[in-house]
Structure 1
């Protein structure tokens, strides 16, 4: 007697395509979150020093750029 092989999926995803849709939405959200965090890291990395210079230039008393960048 030969045994038959069942091609039905067992487990949580056997209820239909709703699980696949939920999984694709979750994967999409994870992908966009990762993309957003990478872009935020780059912006924070390259924008921190210019932000400090701009804040320093707008403070009282108004320093010159050379005074802001000198270590003394």
Structure 2
């Protein structure tokens, strides 16, 4: 998460959000835009973690339903 705060655009690109990463990187280039870009990157990171948890839960529930 520290990476998302320090380099928000690059952290988004590494997580597969290329277009969002480019827009966030452009926003990051301005001094005023760095704070919103960092908040956006952290929120995106947290959203990706929540999606992973959701997918894992669905996988487990699907496996239990087959029994």
**TM-score scaled by structure 2?**
0.51
1:20 aligns with 38
Q: Which has the higher helix share?
A: 2
Distance (Å, rounded) in 2 between the aligned partners of 1:48 and 1:20 = 43
**What is the total number of aligned residue pairs between the two structures?**
40
- Which runs of 5 or more structure 1 residues have no equivalent in the other structure? 1-8, 50-72
CA shift at 1:22, angstroms?
A: 0.3
Structure 2: 5+ residue runs without aligned partners?
A: 1-6, 8-24
Specify the structure having the higher radius of gyration (Cα): 1
**How much is the aligned-residue C-alpha RMSD, in angstroms?**
1.9
Structure 1 residue ranges (4+ consecutive) displaced by more than 6 angstroms after TM superposition: none
